[in-house]
Structure 1
Amino acid sequence: MFEFLDVPVSGALFLVDRFAGFIDPVTAPVSVALTIVLFTAAIRLALLPFSVAAVRGERARAKLLPELKKLQEKHRNNPEKLREAAADLQRESGTSFFAGCLPSLAQLPFFMVMYRLFAFPSVGGQPNPLLDHTLFGTPLGAHFTSAAGPVFLGLFALLAVVAWISSRRQSALLAESPTPPPGGGLLKLLPFGTLLVAAFVPLAAGLYLLTTTTWTLVERALLRREPGIRTPAAG
């Protein structure tokens, strides 16, 4: 189904495998696991400009929402007039209601490649060698349902902490927002979905989830503190 990802995934596998071999003399027991963490962090760092653009776009979109609500109330019986007024509002503000969406979408192929690299038993029709390695005795290709143990329990504990902090920050954002989005309660629960996913994917993919969600948590906190990038919750 995702054969079009075979080439980039194979390239990523080559880089990860080579780097793991390079650091193996120093970090032999955890070389591949550490490489997964470092590789994920490196990709997230490379994608930082997209994240900055997305946050700026969310800020611009959040500023437009109150005005859009006023227009919807004013022209609720005239859809054509509402479209024209909304277009004028976007033109005058120099942004759009979809600002921030494109940078987020641009990151999806990278996340798909990384997830496939760490979650699937084969790459390009060949066995995935990354999943043959271990972390403290637990194979990186093992699933919680078949190899429950201290490593998985530690992983779930760390994912739960990250999810809890993310949920609290989401709650704070929703409280700050002058126009809370519908389904705000569900938004606060979404971070805990990583625990459910981690229960059904290989340990390697769980390490990827822990790294990328932690990165997102820290990244968003730092970007919100930057002048001109702070954004209220906008859904």
Structure 2
Amino acid sequence: MFDFFSDVGTFIITPLYWIISVVLMGFHHVLGAVFGDASGASWALSIIGLTIVIRAALIPLFVKQIKSSRNMQLVQPKVKELQKKYGHDRERLAQETMTLYKETGTNPFASCLPLIVQMPIFIALFRLIDHASKGETRGILTKENVENLSAAKIFGARIADTFTGADDISVKVLAGLLIVVMIATTFLTQRQLMSKNMPADAMTGQYAQQQKLLLYVLPLVFAVGGVAFPIGVVLYWTTSNLWTMCQQFYVIRNNPAPNTEAFRAKEKRDAEKRRRKGEDGPEGSGGIVAKDAEPPSSDGGGAAKQPPQRQQPRKQTRNQRKKGGGSANG
């Protein structure tokens, strides 16, 4: 049985060695010409380049994850209604819930797709660097490449060093700091999604419980396993987290889920933009010129022609009024 799983693991991981090594060496071929083949900067930047390529390739899965996550949030009120209606019958509740997910095009597991796909790549990179530290080649890496990668240093520590395997205290400090950054970015990435893009009525349902579980379990997993990760792998995962944070920020800011803090913030920004356009634009208030208005005419002196004023009658004395009245009667 153990041999069977070992063969399956080898079948999956071997192609990944080739894919990762091809991308990694592609970046290193360019960066090595600038920093040097054995430079830690060239290898570290090559790992960052590898991360960007992988995350860019996973954008379709990320879009699917965002859509599924939003659908999960929007159907939570209906899920709660089903729970109230069929809470006594767990089998019927499960059937009705799956029917609701199918009708709304919601996949409860889609939110984990990028993580699930990344894990084999993460493991392959981990083993590739680990084997390089032992002088073993994988993928297209040559013996010279392996020696350069194994010896390459950043901030005084080898890229292949681990927290538990390092003897130098300065290397342990650097590895520990990088692990803390990796854990913090993992936590903040999940926290960003929950605090900004989840409506209030979705914070108490089953989906919210799953998100809270990921919020605390993932950092814990990386805290425990991170002490055995090579610095290069920690660099990969931290870069991946930063990519996710920026990607989520863009999506949440420009296309937030309804009835969320991000949605209200976008409405406020849109209202402010409309207000500015209304005041400052050519069609805004104060900027409209009446089509039928005629320019004031001038009489050579530049003064506008005034309408004729009504002439007031002259005042008369009593004797004048009597005489006038008498002449009129005569």
Q: TM-score range by the shorter chain?
A: 0.7 to 0.9
State the Cα distance separating 1:91 from its structure 2 match. Answer: 4.5
- Matched residue, 1:143: 162
Call closer, same or farther: CA 1:118–1:230 in 2, change over 3 Å: farther
Do residues 24 (structure 1) and 24 (structure 2) align? no
Structure 1 residue identity aligned to 2:58: L
CA contact (8 A) 2:190 2:215 kept: yes
Call closer, same or farther: CA 1:142–1:60 in 2, change over 3 Å: same
CA contact (8 A) 1:164 1:192 kept: yes
CA contact (8 A) 1:170 1:187 kept: no
CA contact (8 A) 1:198 1:209 kept: no
Listed as ranges, the matches of 1:42-61 within 5 Å are: 42-61=53-72
CA contact (8 A) 1:40 1:114 kept: no
Q: What is the TM-score when the length of structure 2 is the normalising length?
A: 0.58
State the Cα distance separating 1:57 from its structure 2 match. Answer: 0.5
Aligned residues: 233
Pick aligned residue for 2:216 from 186, 189, 194: 189
Pick aligned residue for 1:215 from 238, 243, 249: 243
CA contact (8 A) 2:129 2:232 kept: yes
CA contact (8 A) 1:55 1:231 kept: no
Structure 1 residue identity aligned to 2:233: A
Structure 2 residue identity aligned to 1:134: K
State the Cα distance separating 1:87 from its structure 2 match. Answer: 4.5
Fraction of identical pairs, as percent? 23
State the Cα distance separating 1:36 from its structure 2 match. Answer: 0.5
Call closer, same or farther: CA 1:184–1:84 in 2, change over 3 Å: closer
Listed as ranges, the matches of 1:79-158 within 5 Å are: 79-100=90-111, 105-121=116-132, 122=136, 124=138, 129=146, 130-145=149-164, 146=166, 147-149=168-170, 151-152=174-175, 154-156=177-179, 158=181
C-alpha distance in structure 2 between counterparts of 1:191 and 1:80, whole Å: 30
State the Cα distance separating 1:35 from its structure 2 match. Answer: 0.3
C-alpha distance in structure 1 between counterparts of 2:94 and 2:223, whole Å: 42
Q: What is the TM-score when the length of structure 1 is the normalising length?
A: 0.77
Structure 2 residue identity aligned to 1:135: I
Listed as ranges, the matches of 1:171-190 within 5 Å are: 172-173=195-196, 176-178=199-201, 179-180=203-204, 181-182=208-209, 187-190=214-217
Structure 1 residue identity aligned to 2:178: L
- Matched residue, 1:162: 185
SS at match of 2:32: helix
Structure 2 residue identity aligned to 1:117: L
Do residues 224 (structure 1) and 262 (structure 2) align? no
SS at match of 1:182: helix
Further displaced range: 149-158 or 66-75: 149-158
- Matched residue, 1:35: 46
Call closer, same or farther: CA 1:215–1:191 in 2, change over 3 Å: farther
Do residues 6 (structure 1) and 14 (structure 2) align? yes
SS at match of 1:210: helix
C-alpha distance in structure 1 between counterparts of 2:191 and 2:101, whole Å: 32
C-alpha distance in structure 1 between counterparts of 2:43 and 2:175, whole Å: 16
Gaps of 5+ in 2: 1-5, 261-330
Call closer, same or farther: CA 1:139–1:88 in 2, change over 3 Å: closer
State the Cα distance separating 1:182 from its structure 2 match. Answer: 3.3
Structure 1 residue identity aligned to 2:182: L
Further displaced range: 108-117 or 137-146: 108-117
- Matched residue, 1:15: 23
- Structure whose residues are more often helix by fraction: 1
1:66-85 CA distance string (max 9 Å, x none): 21121121112334543453
Pick aligned residue for 1:206 from 220, 234, 249: 234
Call closer, same or farther: CA 1:189–1:93 in 2, change over 3 Å: closer
SS at match of 2:209: coil
Structure 1 residue identity aligned to 2:231: L
C-alpha distance in structure 2 between counterparts of 1:18 and 1:206, whole Å: 21
C-alpha distance in structure 1 between counterparts of 2:61 and 2:84, whole Å: 34
Call closer, same or farther: CA 1:57–1:119 in 2, change over 3 Å: farther
1:145-175 CA distance string (max 9 Å, x none): 3144264355246436535644653662598
C-alpha distance in structure 1 between counterparts of 2:110 and 2:180, whole Å: 35
C-alpha distance in structure 1 between counterparts of 2:24 and 2:234, whole Å: 16
- Matched residue, 1:62: 73
